[in-house]
């Protein structure tokens, strides 16, 4: 299954470029099995229009049965347990197509497979797999992932749900509350995360819990701005007895399991983002050709063309990032791809949201009407920037991981090496390199740019570690600029891997080369912005202005007799 130590981007920045992993990537289109499922899903979805599903706010029995027959609920579950057995890459190709048709409907199997059952597939014992995966694959028992709590979102180490081992060690007693659980109302099974020792935050367990168990209470479906057909609920646990054999892996492994599963969840969002961008781009082309202003189709206006081009480019980059990260996990299912999956999620969801905005603008006034897909698609997709870690978390998370890796490398140097500033600066002697000969000039230029970005990232990491030390996490503007550089670097590397693979397969790469050049030009603009001298001035202005705003808020609350939580003072 793999030892989980692969860190492709971190190694590129801090150690060496893994040309073996890069060259072993194979760009893939849907294989026959995946293509057949996609075709059947298209046929089924025609009988259940997205707008009518939203009005009903529930998945009809006929639709659920149809999804079962297609194999949707077992797409990536191994065939020996009754699943379809698609590879991760092929599974993501199906999700991409489903999201392009109806994001709300696609979310049900996505939550079930990408995160709900993934812990059982990756960490379950053979007994656990034989008991639960066949039911999951058939759609008899849908699964949900229960990590988030009413007051705990991204800070997963500090969840408050507890699991206490009984004296005879036969079962755990589960107590606590979970919030915003996707598939909550549909689920027959949950993977629940709980603290095993409240005095040791992060020492967690991951438990398979059947929702029919006494003490499990599923809340009512929450009303949302979109995704009406998707069930989102709170779930409470009161003295729930969970058999000890339902613990995944070992006691204390829960946090590691949760984070590994989220890597797969983020790839699901990357695939969905690609599908939404691709579909929106197609609709923009059609709308721009048919809608006329000032005596000509609006497709002839550069600002409309710009929206269409960006949708095409960003969809291609999103798919490349998704596929390449999937490639890393297929080589080693427990690989450490925290940075790569974070970038995939951040890039895909933010660019897809921009694309949805552009699609609505291209549609004009009609884009605001509920009868056309723009309005619903925007509402359905909006939550993806919150799912699996918010945009803000993913904007600061990767550089913190890189600093941790950099510090680890520095601390493991020989004892007689200088560990002061000179020792840190000596790390700059090692400069990232690409170490591959590429045939196309555009690809060589892109690789050179990626290396330049990598050098700049390493320089900033060392500078930040020296200047801010253990307080570096408080300097989010600084971290955000590193993330923006790394985001484009990974996009370029993933796109290069796709193009090189297709070139080796003898396929036409002319359009992809244009996409690459466009994206590198965009990355150049990003680099200039990320290295601008204006940042320090703006950062200081931000601090001054926020302080003034915060003081005004305090005065307003005092004058109305409210405390900082918005509650009336007694």
Instruction: Show the low-confidence residues of the chain (pLDDT under 50).
Output: 1-4, 414-418, 564-570
- Please give the pLDDT value at position 422: 59
Class of domain 256-385: mainly alpha
* Nearest CA among 501, 424, 416 for reference residue 466: 424
- Please give the pLDDT value at position 413: 54
SS3 state of residue 241? strand
Class of domain 393-532: mainly alpha
SS3 state of residue 271? helix
- Please give the pLDDT value at position 419: 52
* Nearest CA among 350, 340, 351 for reference residue 490: 340
Residue 263 neighbours by CB under 8 Å, 6+ apart: 325, 329, 337, 338, 341
pLDDT tens digits for 7-60?
999 999 998 999 999 999 999 999 999 999 999 999 999 999 988 899 888 899
∠ Cα 331 488 16 (to 5°) = 50
Q: Cα–Cα distance between 102 and 41 in angstroms, integer?
A: 11
- Please give the pLDDT value at position 415: 46
What CATH architecture applies to the domain 143-254? Answer: Beta Barrel (2.40)
Check if 149 is active-site.
no
Where would I find the beta strands (DSSP E) of 229-298? Answer: 232-243, 292-293, 296-297
Domain layout of the chain by residue ranges: 25-142, 143-254, 256-385, 393-532, 538-570
Domains 256-385 and 393-532 share a fold: yes
Q: Cα–Cα distance between 467 and 464 in angstroms, integer?
A: 5
* Nearest CA among 429, 384, 426 for reference residue 267: 384
Predicted TM-score of the model (pTM): 0.93
- Please give the pLDDT value at position 152: 85
- Please give the pLDDT value at position 114: 96
- Please give the pLDDT value at position 566: 47
- Please give the pLDDT value at position 568: 41
* Nearest CA among 208, 224, 299 for reference residue 257: 208
CB 112 within 8 A of CB 58: no
SS3 state of residue 307? helix
Task: Please state which of the four CATH numbers 2.40.30.10, 3.10.20.30, 1.10.540.10, 3.30.465.10 is assigned to the domain occupying 25-142.
Answer: 1.10.540.10
- Please give the pLDDT value at position 154: 78
- Please give the pLDDT value at position 424: 57
Asked whether the CA dihedral 294, 300, 301, 304 is positive or negative, the reply is: positive
CA-to-CA separations, 343 to 27, 337, 388, 428, 530, in angstroms, rounded: 19, 10, 12, 25, 17
- Please give the pLDDT value at position 190: 98
Residue 568 neighbours by CB under 8 Å, 6+ apart: 561, 562
CB 28 within 8 A of CB 330: no
- Please give the pLDDT value at position 84: 97
Point out the catalytic residue in the list 388, 440, 441, 525: 388
Kind of pairing between the strands at 232-243 and 296-297: unpaired
């Amino acid at each position: 299954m793999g030892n989980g130590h692969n860190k492709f981007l971190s190694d590129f920045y801090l150690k060496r470029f893994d040309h073996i992993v890069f060259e072993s990537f194979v760009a893939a289109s849907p294989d026959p099995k995946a293509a057949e499922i996609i075709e059947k899903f298209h046929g089924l979805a025609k009988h259940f229009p997205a707008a009518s599903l939203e009005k009903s706010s529930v998945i009809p029995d006929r639709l659920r049965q149809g999804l079962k027959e297609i194999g949707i609920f077992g797409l990536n579950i191994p065939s020996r347990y009754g699943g379809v057995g698609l590879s991760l890459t092929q599974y993501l190709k199906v999700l991409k197509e489903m999201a392009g048709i109806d994001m709300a409907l696609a979310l049900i199997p996505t939550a079930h497979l990408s995160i709900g059952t993934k812990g059982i597939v990756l960490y379950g014992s053979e007994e656990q797999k034989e008991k639960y995966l066949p039911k999951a694959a058939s759609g008899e028992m849908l699964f949900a992932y229960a990590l988030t709590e009413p007051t705990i979102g991204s800070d997963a180490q500090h969840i408050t749900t507890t699991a206490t081992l009984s004296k005879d060690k036969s079962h755990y007693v589960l107590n606590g509350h979970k919030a915003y659980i996707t598939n909550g109302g549909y689920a027959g099974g949950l993977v629940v995360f709980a603290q095993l020792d409240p005095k040791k935050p992060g020492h967690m367990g991951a438990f398979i819990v059947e929702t029919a168990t006494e003490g499990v209470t599923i809340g009512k479906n929450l009303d949302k701005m979109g995704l009406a057909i998707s069930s989102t609920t709170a779930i409470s646990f009161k003295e729930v007895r969970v058999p000890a054999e339902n613990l995944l892996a070992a006691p204390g492994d829960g946090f590691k399991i949760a984070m590994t599963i989220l890597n797969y969840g983020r790839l699901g969002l990357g695939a969905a983002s690609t599908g939404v961008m691709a579909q929106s781009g197609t609709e923009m082309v059609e709308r721009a050709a048919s809608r006329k202003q000032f005596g000509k189709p609006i497709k002839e206006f550069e600002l409309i063309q710009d929206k269409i081009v960006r949708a095409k480019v960003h969809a291609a980059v999103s798919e490349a990032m998704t596929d390449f990260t999937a490639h890393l996990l297929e080589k080693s299912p427990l690989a450490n791809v925290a940075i790569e999956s974070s970038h995939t999620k951040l890039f895909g969801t933010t660019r897809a949201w921009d694309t949805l905005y552009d699609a609505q603008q291209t549609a004009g006034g009609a884009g605001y009407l509920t009868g056309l897909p723009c309005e619903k698609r925007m509402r359905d997709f909006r939550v993806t920037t919150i799912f699996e870690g918010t945009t803000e978390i993913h904007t600061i998370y990767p550089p913190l991981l890189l600093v941790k890796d950099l510090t680890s490398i520095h601390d493991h140097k020989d004892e007689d090496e200088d560990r002061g500033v000179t020792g840190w600066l000596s790390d700059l002697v090692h400069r990232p390199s690409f170490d591959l000969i590429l045939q196309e000039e555009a690809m060589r230029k892109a690789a050179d740019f990626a290396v330049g970005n990598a050098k700049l990232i390493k320089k900033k990491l060392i500078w930040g570690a020296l200047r801010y030390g253990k307080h570096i996490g408080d300097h989010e503007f600084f971290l955000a600029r590193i993330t923006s550089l790394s985001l484009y670097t990974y996009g370029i590397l993933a796109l290069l891997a796709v193009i090189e693979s297709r070139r080796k397969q003898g396929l036409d790469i002319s359009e992809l080369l244009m996409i690459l050049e466009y994206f590198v030009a965009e990355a150049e603009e990003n680099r200039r912005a990320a290295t601008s001298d204006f940042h320090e001035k703006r950062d200081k202005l931000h601090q001054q202005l926020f302080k003034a705003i915060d003081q005004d808020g305090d005065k307003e609350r005092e004058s109305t007799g409210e405390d900082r939580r918005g509650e009336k003072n007694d």
